Amino acid sequence: MFRTVLVVLCFALGALNAPSALRAADWKAGVARVSITPQEPVCMWGYVGVRFSEGIAHEIHVRALAIEDPAGNRVVIVTSDLAGFEGEMIEPVAARIERRHALQRRQLLFNASHTHTGPLVEHVRRPLEMMYVLDEEQLAGLRRYTRTVQERMARVVSGALADLAPARFSFHRGEAKFAMNRRLPTPEGVKLAPNPEGLVDHGVPVLRVSRKDGGVKAILFSYACHPTTLRGDFHLISGDYPGFAQSDLEAAHSGAVALFMQGCGGDAQPGERGSLDLARRHGGALAAAVSKAMSDGGRPVGGNLDSALAIVPVPFGPAPTRDFLQKRLSAEKDYVRRHAEYSLFRLERDGKLVSHHRLPLQAIRLGSSLTLIALGGEVVADYAVRLRKELAARDRDVWVVGYSNDITTYIPSRRVLQEGGYEPERSMLLVGLPGPFAPEIEEIVVRKIHQLVGQVKEPQR
């Protein structure tokens, strides 16, 4: 009798102190998907130079996953088949959601797939004329489309929150091999070309959300690779490989919504490029990797939700001089001349060039076993590798994505800065920034991420 009572008592105490995964059924999930496929020709984003869409390869969407813990804490992850957006475009959306649903900005994560065959959206801070020179009629169309995207982002969040229902969550890891580093060292410096020996993050993190009946309700997954299977001569709207991966997973799991987040793929691209068939093949490979990852039991996810968001000023290196910019006015490349003209205009108007970039960094604790890190900008693979290594602890998974909340420029590591090349140097001219970041950028970013993770640490029981 005593032994029976002891066993029952131990079981009861164990249930009280059980891993929060056992409380995963107390979580709720809601999903929604809304098309943002343009209804008229739009300027496409992703390559230098104006190119207007000439049709639709497949539909593009914004999707949302809303998560609520037993205490009523909420997080909403919004994914989009867009090349990117400024924070200034997202903030009105976040403000509208806050008014409607009492969600704070830190509870919202906006990620762009970075497809290079998606529509351009309006920019406020970034001077578009560095890459795209549009007339007034074209600018009016750009603004119309941007307002549509903002309205549908707010709508998809409302839809996901309205769909909240009990669900179970599990975390899985897979792998896909089609990404390749695109920074090739040569005697003349780093070239933008395939580098089979370069660093690539092939991991495929997956969050599976299951309904009470066991069916799949949502699949949140990521991969670190530029969606540039389709080159600048392709003029049909497409989500590239992430779009095909999402549609394949949704076809395989009836009623489910598949949401792709771009990882730290700033220095990676598909190893094979150039056709819609290849984009479809890469998407199929990624969907297969997700499905394979979900075929194991995974790690149950549950407990308390928490989130933190900070805007970190990241310094640039020494600004170019007026004489240097004057010499660049006669440069051969149009975007170099336009950058010089714009920089000289800023010097004349403000007396100086901008000294810092405002970089959004976010940490979301998904229960006791999973932390999601979201960095703004086009982040290179070094950050994901380092942060997973430094933040991973026993019984905790770390998931790192880039392209979140503001996608204005590349975020190089110290190593990439030292090597030079397109991402840390030439790309800055295309977005109207004064020049490369200061060498301490990596330490600033990593230190702040550690602070944010400390803010959302699981409370002691």
Residue 17's pLDDT band, with cuts at 50, 70 and 90, is very low
- Residue 395: the pLDDT is 67
pTM, rounded to two decimals: 0.93
What are the CB-based long-range contacts (under 8 Å, 24+) for 12-17? 17/461
User: What is the C-alpha separation between 249 and 288, in angstroms, rounded?
Assistant: 8
What are the residues whose beta carbons fall under 8 Å from the beta carbon of 255, sequence distance 6 or more? Answer: 215, 216, 217
Which has the minimum average pLDDT: 20-34, 159-173, 177-191, 412-426? 20-34
Predicted local distance difference test score (pLDDT) of residue 393: 78
Query: Phi and psi dihedrals of 272, rounded to 5?
Result: -115, 135
- pLDDT given at position 130: 72
Average pLDDT estimate for 274-298: 97
Residue 18 has pLDDT above 90, yes or no: no
What is the mean pLDDT of the segment spanning 201-220? Answer: 97
Of the chain, the percentage scoring pLDDT greater than 70 comes to 92
Whether the per-residue pLDDT at 14 is higher than 80: the answer is no
Judged against a pLDDT cut of 80, whether residue 227 lies above it is answered with: yes
pLDDT at residue 11, as a whole number: 40
Structure tokens at 288: 């297969």
Averaged pLDDT score across all residues of the chain: 92
Task: Map residue 411 onto helix, strand or coil.
Answer: strand
- DSSP string spanning 36-92? ---SS--BEESSSS--B--SBSS--EEEEEEEE-TT--EEEEEEESSS---HHHHHH
Angle between helices 381-391 and 441-455 (to 10 degrees): 40
Mean pLDDT for the stretch of residues 230-249: 97
**Residue 404 tokens, joined:** 């979140």
Give the Å distances, CA to CA, from 320 to 205, 344, 352, 355, 436.
41, 10, 10, 11, 10
Confidence (pLDDT) at 6: 42
DSSP one-letter string for 111-166: EE---TTEE----SSS-GGGT----HHHHHHHHHHHHHHHHHHHHHHHHHHHT-EE
N-terminal to C-terminal alpha carbon distance within the chain = 31
Identify the band that residue 50 occupies on the pLDDT scale cut at 50, 70 and 90.
Answer: confident
Find the mean pLDDT for residues 272-300: 97
The tens digit of pLDDT for each residue in 370-401 reads 999 999 999 999 999 999 999 987 668 999 99
Q: Could you tell me how many residues make up the chain?
A: 461
Show the tokens assigned to 161. 């929150």
Binning pLDDT at 50, 70 and 90, where does residue 278 land? very high
Decide: 114 and 224 in contact? Cβ < 8 Å. Answer: no
pLDDT at residue 88 is higher than 70 = yes
CA distances from 429 to 48, 85, 291, 425 (A): 11, 18, 41, 8
* Sequence-distant (≥ 6) Cβ neighbours of residue 166 within 8 angstroms: 25, 26, 27, 28, 212
Tell me: pLDDT of 5 over 80.
no
Q: Confidence class of residue 8 from pLDDT cuts 50, 70 and 90?
A: very low
Question: In this structure, what is the dihedral angle of CA atoms 374, 100, 114, 422, given to the nearest 10 degrees?
Answer: -60
- State the pLDDT at residue 140: 92
DSSP code of residue 316: B
Using 50, 70 and 90 to split pLDDT, how confident is the model at 459? low
Q: What are phi and psi of 148, to 5 degrees?
A: -65, -45
